[in-house]
Chain A
Amino acid sequence: MPKDARVASAGLSNKRMFFHTGVSEYILFEQLLTSSAGEMVGACVAIFFLAVLYEGLKVMREQLLKSAFSSSMKYREVTISSQTSQDNIIIDPKSNGFRMLSSSHFIQTALHVVQVFVSYCLMLVFMTYNVWLCLAVILGAGAGYFLFGWKRAVVVDVNEHCH
Chain B
Amino acid sequence: MWFYWTTKTKHLLFKGVDINGTTATFEACVVLFLATFILEGGKCIMLYWNTRLAQHPLTYGQTDHKHQDRNPLFNSLMIPSSLEHIKRRRAKYHIFSCLSHIFNLILGYLVMLAVMRYSIWMLVAVLLGSMVGYFIFGALGHNVQLKYTSLLMVKETMDIGHINHSHEYPDGPSSENRF
Contact = CB atoms under 8 A, between A and B. Distances in A.
Interface of A: 4, 7-14, 26, 28-30, 32, 62, 65-66, 69-70, 73, 76, 78, 80, 84, 86-91, 93, 95, 97-100, 105, 108-110, 112-113, 116-117, 120, 123-124, 127, 153-156, 158-159, 161-163
B127 interface: yes
Measured as residues with beta carbon below 8 angstroms from the partner, the interface class of chain B is: 35 or more
9 contacts: A4-B8, A10-B118, A12-B10, A65-B174, A69-B172, A80-B160, A89-B160, A97-B146, A98-B139
Given A98-B139, A112-B131, A116-B130, A123 B112 contact: yes
A137 to B, nearest CB: 15
B24 interface: no
Interface string B93-120: 0000000000001001101100111110
B57 to A, nearest CB: 17
Interface of B: 1-4, 6, 8-11, 43, 46-47, 50, 62, 76-78, 105, 108-109, 111-112, 115-119, 123, 126-127, 130-131, 134-136, 138-139, 141-143, 146, 150, 152, 154, 157-158, 160, 163, 165, 169, 171-175, 177, 179
Main secondary structure of the interface of B (DSSP, over half): helix
A123 B112 CA distance: 9
A105 B139 contact: yes
A162 B146 contact: no
B12 to A, nearest CB: 10
Contacts of B47: 158
